[in-house]
Amino acid sequence: MPLPPHSTVSASVHGTLTQRAGGSPDVSAMVEAVSRTWQFMAAQLEPVIGERGVGVLLDRALHLTGKNFPWLVDPGPPQDHADRLTRLQARFASRDLQESAAAGCALLVTFTELLASLIGDSLTERLLASVWLDAPPPSDQDHPHG
């Protein structure tokens, strides 16, 4: 099954961020939602493409997303993955809720699309399916008991 078109990927990311941020989110809840979603994505991908590979893709996604959200682009190179995440969280926290949510969604969609362009739609879908909260759970018919 191919990766859903951009609008579907965007809907999955948006739905996930909305659920993780809660019913009445503020900027800190949105920063946490973006951060947690990113951490889940990284955890799924690092065994396959390594921490460095994930970092390179994130840097590229930040560069591309930074065209619409210039404040996302960090002028200095991060020391490691934790430093990159801390610096990114600070940049998101410095914005209002709407801008933080829009940039977070755009960044995660761009990252997902970059990944799919490199490893293919099918593998991307399989690797990230568990990250999206609005993904339908497997039916009992898919996993028979006994």
Q: What's the pLDDT at 133?
A: 79
Q: Is the residue at 58 inside a domain?
A: yes
Q: Is the residue at 102 inside a domain?
A: yes
- 96-to-20, 25, 57 alpha-carbon distances in Å: 17, 11, 26
CA-wise closest residue to 57 among 9, 93, 107, 120: 107
Q: Is the residue at 119 inside a domain?
A: yes
Whether 136 has a pLDDT exceeding 60, the answer reads no
Whether 106 has a pLDDT exceeding 90, the answer reads yes
Q: Is the residue at 142 inside a domain?
A: no
User: Kindly report the CA angle at 83 between 42 and 80, in degrees rounded to 5?
Assistant: 70
Whether 138 has a pLDDT exceeding 60, the answer reads no
- 49-to-22, 29, 55, 58 alpha-carbon distances in Å: 31, 29, 10, 12
C-alpha 39/C-alpha 67 separation (Å) is: 23
Q: What average pLDDT is seen over the chain?
A: 83
pTM over 0.95: no
Q: What's the pLDDT at 7?
A: 62
Residue 73 pLDDT class (50, 70, 90 cuts): confident
Q: Is the residue at 70 inside a domain?
A: yes
Q: What's the pLDDT at 41?
A: 95
Residue 25 pLDDT class (50, 70, 90 cuts): confident
Rounded mean pLDDT, 68-76: 86
Q: Is the residue at 13 inside a domain?
A: no
Rounded mean pLDDT, 6-26: 85
Q: How many CB atoms lie within 10 A of CB 138?
A: 9
The residue range of the domain holding 101 is: 30-128
Q: Is the residue at 18 inside a domain?
A: no
Q: Is the residue at 135 inside a domain?
A: no
Whether 9 has a pLDDT exceeding 90, the answer reads no
Say if CB 104 and CB 33 are below 8 A apart. yes
Domain count, the chain: 1
Q: How many CB atoms lie within 10 A of CB 146?
A: 2
Say if CB 92 and CB 100 are below 8 A apart. yes
